[in-house]
Structure 1
Amino acid sequence: MDVIQLIFNNIATHIVIGALFAIILYQVLKRLVGSFFKRTDFLNEKEESTLESMFISIVKYVVTFGFIVYVFSLFDVEIGNILAGAGIIGIIVGLGAQSLIKDLLAGLFLIYEKQLNKGDWVKVNNLHSGVVEDIGLRFLKIRQWSGVLLTISNGQVQTIENYNIEKMRVIENITTSFQEDPKKIFTLLEQICVRLNQELSDYLKTDALGAPIEPFAVFGMSSLNDQYRGYQYTITGLSDDLFYFTAAKETRRIIAETLFDNKIQMAEQHINLGEQNK
C-alpha cells in the first residue's frame, strides 16, 4: 500500500498520467471536430476540409499548452509570474516569438481570405508546387508531384498561385515554320478547335444552362516572329478548375496529332555557326 501511494505521489507519475490524459483528450476532440464537419453541409467539401484541418491544429496547440501549464503547476511554478518577467519575455522574443506570431497570423489570413483550400493545387513563392495536404496554424504542407511532402511555415508564404479557384484557362501556343501559309494554319486551327469542343466538352466551364462559357477558339496570331523561329498562334478555352491539367494535356495531344497528320512544319531552333566563329 505504501509503495502504491509512493508511486502516485511521485511527480513523474503525475506527468505520465497528464500526458496520457492530454493524448486521449486530443484524440477525442479531434474526432468530435471531424464528426461535426462530416454532418454539416453549409460549406463546400474543400472549405469544410480546410476548416477542419485548422480547428484540429488549434486543438493540438491548446491541449499541448494546457499540458505544459499542468507540468509547471506540479513544480509549484506560476505561469503568470514567468510571463510577467520582462527578462523572460525578452528571451522568448529572442528565441523566435515574433516568428511564431507571424506564422500564426499568416495562417489565419490564409483561411480568412480563402487564398487556398485543402486539396487545391498551388504554386508557392513561384518555387514549390503540389496539392495542399494540410493547413495548420503554423505550417502549410504541400504534397509535391514526386510524392515529397513539403512543409513551409505560413510566415514564409509570399505568393500563392492557386489552380483551383472555380476556373482555369487552357492556353496553348503553336509555333510553325515561316514556310507555312498562315491562311492554311488558321483554317487547320479552326478545325482543331471544333474537335476540341467535341471531345473535351466535359472539361469546359459551363453556365447555368450547361453551355460552355468560353469554348476552345483560335485566339489569333500571338507573335510574328517567335524567338526568330516562326509564326506563333494561340488556342484558348475555359475549363473547370478540377479538370484543368487533364484538359491541357488532351488539348496538346489533339493539336499534335492534327498537325502531324497534315504534315505541318513546326519551328526549329537554328544556330548560325558562322556568326559564332567570328
Structure 2
Amino acid sequence: MSSSMAADCRSDTFFCSILVRMFGNAPWAPLASSAVTIVLILVLAFVLRKLVHRLITRVVGRAAAGGSITSRFRKGAVTDGIDALLHERRKQRAETMGSVLKHVASIVILGTAVLTVLDRLTIPIAPLLTSVGILGVAVGFGAQELVKDFIAGMFMLLEDQYGVGDVIDAGAAVGTVEAVTLRVTRLRDVDGRVWYVRNGTITRIGNESQGWSRAYMDVPVAYDADIVGVRVLLEHVAEEIWADSELRESKMVEQPQVFGVEQLSDSSLVFRITAKTLPTAQAEVSRELRLRVKTALDTAGIPMVAGA
C-alpha cells in the first residue's frame, strides 16, 4: 500500500485495507470505505430503532393487558362490561405513552447516527451542537409553560390519574373528561359548558370514577323516635336494596351499611345509611336510597324532621 493510500486509510484501516487488498491501490478505495462505513452506521441505526420499537410495543402490550379491578371489590357479579372499559382505558394510556417513547427513541437513535455520519464526512459538528444547544435554551425559556404542560401530561397518563369518561374536579373546572392529550384536558360540566384546562396548571385532581364511589343518605328523625326501631327499619331497607339483583349486579359493590346515629342536632337525631357503588353510579343509588327510605318511614309512621 502506498504512503498516500495509507494516509487516506488512517481513519478507517479495516474496510480501506480490505478494499486495497482486493483492488490494489485504487484511488477510490478510501471513498468507498467511507461510503460502506456510512451505510453500516445507517443500517445499524435503523435496526436498533426497530428493535427498540418492538421492545416498547411488547412493554406497552403487557401494560395494557393488566388485570380486573372490579373483581377486587365484587364477587359473583357481572363485571365483563366494566372490565372491558377499564381494559380499553389502560390500552389507550399505554399506547399514548408507547407513542411518546417511540418518538423519543427515534430522535435519539437517528440523531446520533446523523451526527456520526457528519463526523465521518469530516463535517465539523461542534458548531452545530453549539447552535442546537443555544436554540434549545432559547426555546426552553420561551416555551416553559408548554414544556410544563407536556411533562405534567406525561406523568398524568403514566400514573393513570384520570381518563376519558371520568368525572373529576380539576380545581378550575368540574365535569366529565371528554378528551385527554399531553397538553390539555377537555371537560364538560353539568351545564354543558366545555372547559379546556392546561395540564401544567392542574395542581390537584379529585376523581369520582376510580375504583368505587360512595352513596349516602342522612335520615333526621325526632328525638322521641324509637332509635332501635329506626335502625332496624334502615337495616331492612339496606337488605332490600342489596336483594335487588339489578342494583347489586350493575351498580353496587357491597351491601349498604347503617352507621347508626351520625349526628345530634338541636332538633333531631341523624342516622346515616351508606352504600359503596361502582364509579359514577352513586347518584342513581342515592336516589334509590332516598325513595326506599322515605317509603319505609312513611309506612312505619316515622316522620322525618325538616331542616335538620
**Which protein is bigger by CA-based radius of gyration?**
2
Q: Aligned match of 2:187 in 142, 145, 158?
A: 142
| TM-score where L is the length of structure 1 | 0.61
Partner of 1:273: none
> What SS does the corresponding residue of 1:241 show, helix, strand or coil?
coil
Assess if the C-alpha contact under 8 Å between 1:57 and 1:136 holds in 2.
no
Residues 215 and 286 in structure 2, CA contact (< 8 A), matched pair in contact too: yes
* Aligned residue-pair number: 203
State the shift of 1:135 in Å.
1.1
1:99 match: 145
Spell out, residue by residue over 1:80-121, the C-alpha distance to the aligned partner (whole angstroms, 9 max, x if none). Answer: 8875557x955x5564x2211211111111111111122212
Runs ≥4 in structure 1, deviation > 6 angstroms? 53-59, 79-82
Task: Please tell me whether residue 215 in structure 1 is matched to residue 255 in structure 2.
Answer: yes
Verify the 8 A CA contact 2:219 2:271 in the aligned structure 1: yes
Q: Which residue of 2 aligns with 1:233?
A: 271
CA shift at 1:268, angstroms? 2.8
User: Could you tell me which residue of structure 1 aligns to residue 291 of structure 2?
Assistant: 253
Structure 1 residues 171 and 105: CA distance shift in structure 2, 3 A = same
Unaligned runs of 5+ in 1: 1-36, 60-78, 206-213, 271-278
The percentage of aligned residue pairs carrying the same residue is: 22
Give deviations 1:147-184, integer Å, cap 9, x for gaps: 22211010111221212222222222212222422122
Q: Decide whether aligned partners of structure 1 residues 178 and 123 sit closer, same or farther in structure 2, where only a CA change above 3 A counts.
A: same
Check whether the contact 1:138–1:154 (CA below 8 A) recurs between aligned residues: yes
> What pairs with 1:142-181 in structure 2 (closer than 5 Å)?
142-181=187-226
Where structure 2 has 5 or more consecutive residues not aligned to the other structure, the ranges are 1-59, 67-86, 103-127
Q: Structure 1's 132 and 51: CA in aligned 2 closer, same or farther, altered over 3 A? A: farther
SS in 2 for 1:197: helix
Q: Contact (CA 8 Å) 1:121, 1:131: kept in 2 or not?
A: yes
Letter of the 2:210 counterpart: I
| Displacement of 1:256 | 2.4
Distance change (3 Å), C-alpha of 1:108 and 1:264: same
Matches within 5 A, 1:53-202: 84-85=133-134, 89=137, 92=139, 95=142, 97-125=143-171, 128-199=173-244, 200-202=247-249
Structure 1 residues 111 and 41: CA distance shift in structure 2, 3 A: closer
Name which of 65, 68, 71 aligns with 1:42: 65
Aligned 8 A contact 2:140 2:147 in 1: no
- The alignment's TM-score, normalised by the length of structure 2, stands at 0.56
Equivalent positions of 1:14-53 (< 5 A) are 42=65, 44-51=87-94
Structure 1: distance between partners of 2:141 and 2:64: 44
